Structure 1
Amino acid sequence: MRCYDPRFNPQYRGATENMDQAIAVPHENLINFPYRSLDFALPRAAVAVRPTTKTSYGAIYGMSRPMQGLYRTIDKVAPTDATVLIVGESGTGKELVANSIHQRSKRCDQIFIPINCGAISPNLIEAELFGHERGSFTGANRMHKGFFERAAGGTILLDEITEMAPELQVKLLRVLEAGTFSRVGGDQEIKVKVRVIAATNRDPQAAVAAGQLREDLLYRLSVFPIEIPPLRERGEDIELLAHHFLGLLNDAEDDVDKRFSARALAALREHSWPGNVRELKNLVQRSFILADNVIELDGLLQQNAEIRVLPSSEHRLHFEIGTPLAEAERHMICATLDHYDGNKKKAAEVLGLSLKTLYNRLNEYRTAHDYRSATRPADREALA
């Protein structure tokens, strides 16, 4: 017999095709009726597989709903050549997202070059991006290929795009539209095929209103905009990230297996994380250094109270009245370096110090565990 219910369509094929014979079987013998097979034809919707939740995506970690959406967005745009504008607060991982797009693109076997536009001197950034000819300026003793030429066939990330001078934005717009440019001091037109990804921690529309970003460039960059959620909107990811960073630190040491106390984990979950993932990573590292075996609540709060970074473009340090001047200066220098991702030249400029003075201060701090944990490995190597 056949059931024609459109949602459930079993087919029973008995030892006989005679319907009368099947119906005539005594009730007590129905259980032994010799069916040859039982076939189910279920609707496709009934067997659809639910999407799995990813806890990581390459070097990006997170299992929250906002991060699952981000992963799906990257999957969509990565195979294309669309220009991408990544918007996110400082410390959210804009470079990681850009690199993930590159690694999942058809350019993945080519070079990926990340550039922080705010970390290069305004006098040098044009030559760094587009190269220069020999003799084009004092010290230009040979022809130099810029980042765009070196990234040919690959991907280039222009981080902090709003820090680029408006006159240079015009040249960038030409590269995006025509794929051509000239080196500084030259007139030869160079054509390259490069995928451009831009990133900023500012509101792009606000940057346009302030005259820091050309409106036509914004439209050209934001062919496919991506917004990275701040850590405060990813509550369920905080503990996952903390354990990930702690695991990396444990693995880097011999016979070390430090862990968080329950109170410490509760404190992590309750914090607002204005510095986002970078703040969490630095805090775990500092606490790892201070802890013996168990990372306690008090250690976390102590480290977090020393340097407090507020969201938005306004950043402040808070000190107790009576804090020694040398200690306040040390915290200010370390926090400024951390804010500018270890860029000493930019930090010195903002602090009103000469680069030499900044290096002298860093040499004084190099043995202090709190400074060593507050800087990136590359910065510590520079002091060695």
Structure 2
Amino acid sequence: MSIDPIDPREASAAAVQLLDHVAAAERAGHRRLRAAAEHFHLPEDARIDDRTAARLDAVMRMTVDGIDHMVRDDAVRLLTVRGQTALAQGLRAAGSPFDRVVRAGLFRDPVLFGELFARVRLDAIAHGLPVMIDSAGEGPTMVARLAQSGDRLVAAAAVAVLAAQSRRGSAVEGIPATIELARPLLARLAWWVAAALRDMAGAGADIALLDAALAESVRRAIDTQSELVPLEVAAMRLAQAIEPQGDEVAPLLAEAIGDGRLVLFTALVARASGLAFERVRDLVIDPDGARLWVVLRALAVDRATIARIGFALAESEPARDIEGFADRIDIIMDVTPDAARIALAPMALDAEYHAAMLALGAGA
């Protein structure tokens, strides 16, 4: 059966619309079948559980909606000021660009998807961590305590973490407000959203005027939002300001885990080990945990602290094997710091170089 649109001269408008709908439905059915086949053949350990998928979808929607609000509102204002009221009304009435950019493959970009996925996983694990109240009593939480530090650099960095955490909390709840992404990712999102709005606004012959307004709005949104410090960057700056050395590392890691500050925990490990934040974050969200334990041994973290961290992470999500970790703790402690550093050396290489090594290894 041909799915080409029928000649309008040979049928009524309603028939043409129906046949066009059939053609679109057939393409959509093929797309769904292909996606189902891809999902079915995924290995079990590569599948995303329903809860993570729902959270990831919510974060993606929030991110697109936030950029949509900024770009659309500003472009509508520009068009109105320039006397293009019909264009402004068309843009204002356009629907959400979310479904369109998703179908076009925006979130198939591994860097963008990886960033949002890692944030969702880290946030979910942090929320599942057991509350650990230190024997010291009812003092301020870790970051609040650091915000009161006599070291002005540490105090300022801690305040920045609190501010970034507050913004991130609002964003995760789905309030279109601030979008905290590295400038290249932010720009990619903004331009895709603008392109979707362009298609949906029905500008007709005035498309050049709409393009000018959208482009100006996108550039302004990128400049404004990229001035914000993401939580991950703020945490790394705090870790750098603290600069833990030797025996200082383990107590800080234990306190960060006990306080539920998993982003700061990741930053502290990254700073102490010399690894990139994103590299350490991948280890923290990995349910297997083996690579994280070796990193901690490279930092000469003691048995009690590793046990505390391991059991806290195991309690945070069912996928982690708490009994397996308990059985493995003696083997973990048998790894000397020197042996751990040698094993981890490839992870300290340039990220692209390391990725190429992994890809070649996977294809061997």
* TM-score, normalising length: structure 2: 0.23
Higher relative contact order (CA 8 A, sep 6+): 2
Higher helix content, 1 or 2: 2
Higher strand content, 1 or 2: 1
* TM-score, normalising length: structure 1: 0.22
**Structure with the greater alpha carbon radius of gyration:** 1
